[in-house]
Amino acid sequence: MRKLKRFYFDKTNFNNNNIEIAEDFRHITKVMRLNVGDSFIGICDDDYDYIFEITEIFQNNLRAILINKEINLNNPQMQIDMFQAIIKSDKTELIVQKISELGATKFIPVNCEYCIDRSVKNDRLKIIAIEACKQCERSKMLKIETPIDFKSAIEVLKTYDVVIVAYENEENLRLNDLKIDSSQKIACLIGSEGGLSKFEIEELKKINAKIISLGKRILRAETASICLLSQLNYKLSD
């Protein structure tokens, strides 16, 4: 059976089992060459895959009717939120793409002491998250949060069951040494290109954050985020 293509739609445009799509119109009709009678999967940041059939094609948009909906089984089954010290925009986009694929639930940029580039293009990151969802076949988006400063991040991190911090100067504690399970609310924190400062590490220790090593080699910030989430997936069997 031919695998159906996946597209994002705004749920506010969904009325009486009919949907009108303009944003992905060109991709659907010109790139994928779908026509009246063809089906596709729509996702709209909830728990479902919506199967639509195209009923009409206009000059700049199309109309489709809902023929079925199914629970999406690829959505994250646990909460893992990534707190990332702000880094260069192209590296941030890579992180958002990959942690979406790996099942992260939120991305929270943090303005830390050693951040060099302190700008975050949230609108662009949301587009990256949508594209990643379509690619990895989840229907719930990675939530892109507004950047916060380190002091605010500490207060938010206090609400989690487990806070895991990858730190290049930690030599002993590894992820496998931690007792965690998939029912817990988990936060991960990764530093910027310059890492985390000693002051920031001490403040994180005060809230009982688990400061761990990802191995002997020093990883780039974007590599560390992907590595930590991959290890968590393996440990928690997602």
Tell me the three state secondary structure of residue 43.
strand
Residue 200 predicted with pLDDT over 90: yes
Domain extents in the chain: 6-71, 80-235
- Percentage of the chain beyond pLDDT 90 is 81
Asked whether 175 and 232 are in contact (CB, 8 A), the reply is: yes
pTM metric for this prediction: 0.91
Dump pLDDT digits (tens) for 124-149: 999 999 999 999 999 999 999 999 99
pLDDT band of residue 1 (cuts 50, 70, 90) is very low
pLDDT of residue 237: 78
Do the strands 143-144 and 148-149 form a parallel or antiparallel pair, or are they unpaired? unpaired
Confidence band of 117 (pLDDT split at 50, 70, 90): confident
Does domain 80-235 bear CATH number 2.30.22.10?
A: no
Give tens-digit pLDDT for 43-70: 999 999 999 999 999 988 899 999 999 9
Dihedral Cα 20, 26, 30, 36, nearest 10 deg: 0
SS3 231: helix
- pLDDT at position 2, please? 61
Statement: residue 197 has pLDDT above 60: yes
How does DSSP assign 6-42, residue by residue? EEE--GGGEETTEEEE-TTHHIIIIIS---TT-EEEE
User: How confident is the model over 191-205, as a mean pLDDT?
Assistant: 95
Residue 23's pLDDT is 82
**How large is the average pLDDT for residues 68-97?**
95
pLDDT at residue 110 in the model: 97
Length of the chain: 238
Q: What pLDDT is attached to residue 213?
A: 95
Query: 88 with 117: CB under 8 angstroms?
Result: yes
Kindly report the average pLDDT of the chain as a whole number: 93
State the fold for domain 6-71.
Answer: Ribosomal Protein L25; Chain P (2.40.240)
| 222-225-226-232 Cα dihedral, nearest 10 degrees | 170
CA–CA separation, 84 and 82 (whole Å) = 6
- Coil, helix or strand for 196? coil
pLDDT tens sequence across 3-37: 899 999 888 888 889 998 888 888 888 888 999 99
Question: Is the pLDDT score of 101 beyond 50?
Answer: yes
pLDDT of residue 238: 55
